[in-house]
Amino acid sequence: MNLLKNKRKNLTKKNQRIKIDFSNCDRCGTCVSVCGADVITLAAQLHIDNKKCVLCQKCVTVCPFGALAAVEEEFI
Amino acid sequence: MKNYEIVIIGAGPAGSMAAQAAAAAGKKTALIERNEKPSMPVRCGEGIGRKGLATTLEPQKQWIKSGITRARMISPSGIKVEIGNVDQSWILDRQTMDFDLVKQAVKAGADFFPSTTIVSAQKKTNGLYHCIGQDKEFTANCLILADGVESRIARCFGWDTALKLSDIETCAFARVTSPLIDQECCSFYTGGQVAPGGYAWIFPRGGAQANVGLGVIGSKCKAGLPKELLTRFIELRFPNSEVSHLHCGGVPVGRWIRPLVKEGVMLAGDAARQVNAINGAGIAYSLYAGKLAGETAAKALNKGTINHKILLKYQKQWAKNFGKQQDRSFALKEFIMNVGDGFLDRIANSLARENPEKISYLRVFTRTFATKPTLLLKAFKLFK
């Protein structure tokens, strides 16, 4: 049971990532301005380097249109 | 590889003014913009004081949608305070203005590169700054970063530009067409229900249209909250209205970045957080700072070498003319964030009984102190 719990914990911590809903993203750059890890870039499209992301989720909080969300990776 | 003396990143008000000033002084100048056209889309309330605009520019007729001399402030519990005596404010057509400013920069001799994203920049051993774009590369003796609130290039030179959640207003903007809009008056709504840690605004732009928007402080924001609140705000005040141009954006409300100059790199506009933290106004400051940065860079550059002493004058002059004023606004903002809705209601209550023609911003201040005398002591510390 404990083993299972631990596994779940690892799941949520390690395999989360920030997902962009492109249909809702206005490319305003508010997320870029708060990102302390400097992993969000804005060119023709918004891009998040999930490998370097520290999952502080400040970008999710400030997105005026709610286009960002922390999700669990679907395939582990 | 394209070689320039001065490269400016971002063609908003700050960048275009800098490019115009630098090119007019005879420097080989490049102005780089991420989008196809500047201000596409406009992420701004577009309100500006006449004095603020005229400080730096000769205002053009085609930039001004409407001129307003009245303001209305609505407290959290709905008490209306009419202010009949404000300095003239203009509601701008930012798209036209920003286009014109770029045109002026090009006319002065600057090269304009639209649809060009700079990914990173670095200083090479030969002292030149190397800007790497997705398909173009530039070198420059001097770099002016005016790349907006989302500025990332400054991080390449050691500036920590990441904003704290308490230092950003996350905003939603819309254009509303409705016969219910009062075209004579700018309105400001406050309160945790309307816009937590910020305010909602209605800026009439003529022809039954208005810019309607609101800002929520990052520390009280949730994903998607500004859009949700704005939709509710518009539905409540202008039912069945036509809503277009729905966009969002962030407004920095922290202190302006120090230093503004590092070696041959300068920051200007939203990228330097040169915004009034109390009301989020930034156009006038950006125009001024951009022009000043461009002029200073042109003066400091002589045959490829930079005189750093001259370059540093940019920060000194900025601090003297607007920087100190912005520091006071920031301190005041920090205070207001902690007072709660009840305090705003009490001030509104005492002001609502007065004759609107006699209320000025000064009167609002004096009433604020009468409502809470201990503030006076704090104010002395701020304004000394």
- Tens digits of per-residue pLDDT, B203-257? 999 999 999 999 999 999 999 999 999 999 999 999 999 999 999 999 999 999 9
What is the bridge-based pairing of β-strands B89-92 and B111-113?
unpaired
The pairs formed by B81-85 with CB atoms below 8 angstroms and a separation of 24 or more are B81/B348, B81/B351, B81/B352, B81/B359, B81/B364, B82/B356, B82/B359, B83/B356, B83/B359, B83/B360, B83/B361, B83/B364, B84/B356, B84/B357, B84/B358, B84/B359, B85/B356, B85/B357, B85/B358, B85/B359, B85/B360
Q: Domain count of chain B?
A: 1
Expressed as residue numbers, the domain containing B318 is 2-44+94-162+256-334
pLDDT of A12 > 90? The answer is no
What pTM, to 2 d.p., does this model score?
Answer: 0.92
Q: Which residue type is seen at B274?
A: Q
Closest alpha carbon within chain A to B149: A33
- The answer to whether residue A5 scores a pLDDT higher than 60 is no
Least confident range from B80-84, B231-235, B307-311: namely B80-84
Name residue, tokens 């309607």.
B212
Mean of all residue pLDDT scores within chain B: 92
Distance of residue A12 Cα from the nearest chain B Cα, in angstroms: 20
Looking at residue B86, what is its pLDDT?
Answer: 76
Domain ranges within chain A, ordered by starting residue: 2-72
Which string of DSSP letters, residue by residue, matches B102-137? HHHHHHHT-EEE-S--EEEEEE-TTS-EEEEESS-E
Judged by CB atoms within 8 Å, which residues 172-201 of B form the interface with A?
172
Give counts: helices (H), strands (E), chain B. 10, 20
Q: Specify the 3-state DSSP secondary structure of B223.
A: coil
The whole-number pLDDT of residue B26 equals 96
Of A30, A35, A41, the CB nearest to B249: A30
- Give dist(CA A23, CA B226) in Å, integer: 17
CA–CA separation, A54 vs A49, rounded Å? 10
Cβ contact A61–B223 (<8 Å)? yes
Query: Which residue among A28, A43, A67 places its CB closest to the CB of B247?
Result: A28
Question: d(Cα B91, Cα B193) in Å, to the nearest integer?
Answer: 26
Nearest-Cα residue of chain B relative to residue A69:
B223
State how far the Cα of B243 lies from the Cα of B202, in Å rounded to an integer: 13
B316: Cα separation from own chain's centroid: 20
Interchain pair B250, A64: CB under 8 A = yes
Residues of chain A with C-beta less than 8 angstroms from the C-beta of B252: 33
Give CA B280 to chain center in angstroms.
Answer: 6
**Residue B215 with chain A: CB contacts under 8 Å:** none
- Is there a contact between B170 and B221 (Cβ–Cβ < 8 Å)? yes
- The shortest CB-CB distance from A65 to any of B150, B168, B227 is to B227
- Distance between B171 CA and the closest CA of chain A, angstroms: 6
| The B80-83 sheet, strands edge to edge | B80-83, B70-74, B185-190, B199-206, B209-217, B168-177, B242-252
Answer yes or no: do B248 and A65 touch at CB < 8 A.
yes
Q: Kindly provide the ipTM of the predicted complex, given to two decimals.
A: 0.91
Asked if pLDDT for residue B336 goes beyond 70, the answer is yes
* CATH level 3 topology of A2-72: Alpha-Beta Plaits (3.30.70)
The C-alpha of B159 sits at a distance from chain A's nearest C-alpha, in angstroms, of 12
Tell me the C-alpha to C-alpha distance, in Å, between residue B383 and each of B323, B371, B372.
13, 19, 17
Mean pLDDT of B158-179: 96
- Asked whether residue B87 is assigned to any structural domain, the reply reads no
Instruction: Report CA B267 to chain centroid distance, whole Å.
Output: 14
Burial class of residue B378 (count of CB atoms within 10 Å of its CB; 0-12, 13-18, 19+): middle
Q: How far is A72 from chain B (nearest CA, A)?
A: 17
Tell me whether residue B269 is in a domain: yes
Please name the residue that has the structure tokens 């402080």.
B217
pLDDT digits (tens, 9 = 90+) for B189-217: 999 999 999 999 999 999 999 999 999 99
Contact residues on chain B for A26, CB-CB shorter than 8 A = 247-249
Residue type present at position B118 = I
DSSP E strands, chain B:
2-9, 29-32, 47-49, 64-68, 70-74, 80-83, 89-92, 111-113, 118-123, 129-133, 137-145, 168-177, 185-190, 199-206, 209-217, 242-252, 261-262, 265-267, 301-302, 305-306
Q: Which of A34, A42, A69 sits opposite B162 (nearest CB)?
A: A34
Q: What is the pLDDT of residue A13?
A: 54
Residue B360 has pLDDT above 80, yes or no: no
How many angstroms separate the CA of residue A6 from the nearest CA in chain B? 29
CA-closest candidate to residue B247, choices A2, A64, A44, A22: A64
pLDDT in tens, B99-151: 999 999 999 999 999 999 999 999 999 999 999 998 899 999 999 999 999 98
A76: pLDDT strictly greater than 50: no
Cα dihedral B76, B78, B79, B85 sign:
positive
Query: What is the DSSP-derived secondary structure letter of residue B40?
Result: S
* Residue A37 vs residues B122, B274, B357: alpha-carbon distances, Å: 19, 23, 51
Using the Cβ of B134 and the Cβ atoms of chain A, whether some distance falls under 8 Å is answered with yes
Beta-ladder partners of B187: B72, B202
The CA distance from B28 to B8, in Å, is 11
Going by pLDDT thresholds of 50, 70 and 90, the confidence category of residue A8 is very low
Residue B212 Cα to chain centre, angstroms: 16
* Contacting residues of A for B119, CB less than 8 Å apart: 41, 43
> Which CATH number is B297's domain given?
3.50.50.60
Contacts of B172 in chain A (CB under 8 A): 64-65
